[in-house]
Each structure stands twice: as C-alpha cells, then as structure tokens.
A = this chain, B = another copy of it.
Amino acid sequence: MAEPDRSHLPTLAVVGATGAVGTVMCDLLSSRKNVWGEIRLIASARSVGKTRMCRGEELTVQALTPEAFDGVDVAMFDVPDDVAVEWAPVAASRGAVVVDNSGAFRMDRDVPLVVPEINPEQLRNRPRNIIANANCTTLAMIVAIAPLHREYGLRELVLASYQAVSGAGQLGVDTLHDQLTKVAGDRLLGSRSGNVRQAVGDDLGPFPAPLALNVVPWAGSLGDAGWSSEELKMRNESRKILGLPDLKVSATCVRVPVVTGHSVAVHAVFGTEVDAEGAREVVRNAPGVILVDDPAAGEFPMPIDAVGTDPSWVGRIRRSIDDPRALDFFITGDNLRKGAALNTAQIAELLAAEFTAGR
C-alpha cells in the first residue's frame, strides 16, 4: 500500500513526548481519526534519539530547540510549568498555535482555557497564540457539571477529590507499586500507628507521605491561607471555564492509592430546584460523559473501570435531602486521557480543522 499523501494536512509537534501524558498522547494519535500531516516528537535532551511508535510510524524524538518549531502548525506541550513559560512563547513566535497542559498560562487573561464540549468558541480568542488545557481534576469533573449548570444555573460547588498517583507522573506510579510490594499481605501493618511508614521507608517519591494503605490530604504546593495549589486550581479554573467569576467553590484535594483515575465527590448548589431523575437525563444526553448510576446493581463510577476510557463516568446522583436546590454525585475520569492528553488532542483537532478549512 502506498504511503498516504498528507502534504495538505497541518503539522503537529508533541512536546514532552516521552512522559506519562505524552505516551498516552501517542496512543490517542494512533487511535483517533487522523487529521495531521507530519507529527514531530520533541523532548528534553535525555530523550533525544529515542524512538516512539505513533500512528503506525516509528518516530525519533528531536531536541527542544527554536528551530524544531519551524513549519509546525500546532504544538501540544506537556512539560513542567517553568519549561512551558520559556518555550511556549518560542513556539508561538515561530508560527505554531500552542496547546499547553501546564499550569503556567491557565489564568492568563489573554489565554483561553478550553474544554471542547463546553466552550469551544473561546478558541478564537487567542492573542498570544497559546491555548491552555485545564488541570486533570477539574477536567474530569467539569464536563459533567457544565450541562447541569446550563439546566439549573450553578451557584456553588463543594468538592472532595480522590486523586490517582499517575497525576504525579510515572514516578508516582512506580512509587505506589514499590510501596504496595512492601506492605501487601502483612495483615497487621495497617493496624498500628507508624508501621506503614516504617515498612515503606524513606522513599516517598513525589509525595509528602506514603500512599500505600493511606490517603494523603495534600496535592500540589502550599498556597495562601492553607489552601493547596491543586485546590485553588479547581476553584479558579472551574470559574473561568464556566464563565462564572462569582461561583463559590470549596475543594479539598486528597491523593489515594489508585494508579489512574481521578474521582470527585461533588455537592452542587443551583439557582433553582433540581430533581435527580432530571439530572440523570441531562448527564445521559451530555457529550463526553457516561451515566453509571445503579447502586442496587453495584454500578457506580470507579477508577478501575473508568481508566483507559474517554468519558467522565458520573453516578450516585441524589437530590440533597435538606436542600431542594442541591445535587450530590460522584465522578471518575481518566486523568491522563480527558484529564490531559485527550482534551489536548480535542483542542488540537479543532485547530487542525481551522487550518484545513483555511487552505
């Protein structure tokens, strides 16, 4: 079979191609409808020369240089904040539209924060030619909350998260498995204070405490007044995506011993009365979400089921007993897919359609 002619299609760069999210991105590019001409993998010096399978082709990782962006139409970035701050403007200055998954630009007034199911029209408002991707916990949840907001008018969110270790990268996954290997099967370990710490030892990886047989009420860095950066992101990004600058949000972010799949317990207060069956109907018809809500049959959203899938899983929908304007529900989404690579890919595909239409 002849090589397909892709010369008329836009060029994509994947920056940070060898990380946890970058790896999922290559999987997604291989499985989704192809809209790209050349795909260029870019990473830091230590990964240069490595190869990755992407869209059936073996691609060689290139170095992060200004010239690497020449001829690139869309550049997807999954790198630490400081790398994004330095290199996203470089890519933009070379003519690429940047879709950035770091936290560096999300609250910049001149950078739209886009979730394609919710606010695709914001894509056009990009004076810096940078578009931001929301953080993984916000993304998993917001696709379910937006349609409920449109139906009932959202006023307040009270959120408690159950965040997977892969949100802290491959090192997080390796750390959890190393710790589990040390504690699994020792039935007394979890029953005395300090025993798990002793068994796990000093290797906490990217976390402030052991994750095996534990939950850690902390994610991110310390912000103002005792809030964690992750909790502040959930508040600020939800407000920006929904276009609700006065939305009341209180979030508590907690890391749990799950590999992939962020969950959130949501208490949402609306401007009008709600009913659970109506809310289920809204979720059933919304894009990017799947309703899993039959507790009698053991069906509710859980990480071991949602991992590796595209939609956010929504269930346990109840009207609050003491507030007819409030709903309680539970959401689980794959933090590496919709929470990162998938939303980035969806944004990039909307941009590809622009380029293709403009040619």
Interface residues of A (CB under 8 A from B): 156, 158, 160, 162, 164, 166, 173-174, 177, 180-181, 183-187, 189-197, 208-210, 213-218, 222, 225-228, 235, 247-250, 252, 254, 256-261, 263, 265, 267, 276, 293, 295-296, 298, 300-309, 315-323, 326, 328, 330
Determine whether the beta carbon of A162 is less than 8 Å from that of B215.
yes
* Known A210-B304, A252-B267; 20 more pairs at CB < 8 Å: A158-B267, A166-B190, A190-B259, A190-B261, A191-B307, A213-B257, A213-B258, A214-B302, A215-B256, A218-B298, A218-B300, A226-B276, A226-B316, A235-B322, A247-B322, A248-B323, A249-B321, A250-B328, A252-B265, A256-B256
Q: Hey, which chain B residues are within 8 Å of A214, CB to CB? A: 258, 302-304
Determine whether the beta carbon of A304 is less than 8 Å from that of B252.
no
What are 14 inter-chain pairs, A to B, with CB distance below 8 A?
A158-B158, A160-B160, A160-B252, A193-B304, A193-B306, A193-B309, A196-B304, A215-B258, A217-B265, A218-B300, A222-B296, A225-B276, A252-B328, A256-B257
Q: Can you list the 10 inter-chain pairs with the closest CB atoms, starting with the nearest?
A: A190-B259, A160-B160, A180-B184, A248-B322, A160-B265, A252-B265, A184-B184, A196-B304, A208-B298, A217-B330
Q: Hey, which chain B residues are within 8 Å of A309, CB to CB? A: 193
Q: Hey, which chain B residues are within 8 Å of A254, CB to CB? A: 162, 263, 265, 330
A131 to chain B, nearest CB (A): 27
Q: Hey, which chain B residues are within 8 Å of A247, CB to CB? A: 322
Indicate the member of A256, A263, A276, A309 with the most B CB atoms within 10 Å: A256
Determine whether the beta carbon of B217 is less than 8 Å from that of A321.
no
Determine whether the beta carbon of B267 is less than 8 Å from that of A250.
yes
A317 to chain B, nearest CB (A): 7
Which residue of chain B has the shortest Cβ distance to A295 in the bound complex?
A: B222
Q: Hey, which chain B residues are within 8 Å of A300, CB to CB? A: 216-218
Q: Hey, which chain B residues are within 8 Å of A301, CB to CB? A: 217
C-alpha spacing A305/B214, complex, angstroms = 9
Determine whether the beta carbon of A326 is less than 8 Å from that of B256.
no
Determine whether the beta carbon of A305 is less than 8 Å from that of B193.
yes
A262 to chain B, nearest CB (A): 10
C-alpha spacing A228/B300, complex, angstroms = 12
Determine whether the beta carbon of A191 is less than 8 Å from that of B308.
yes
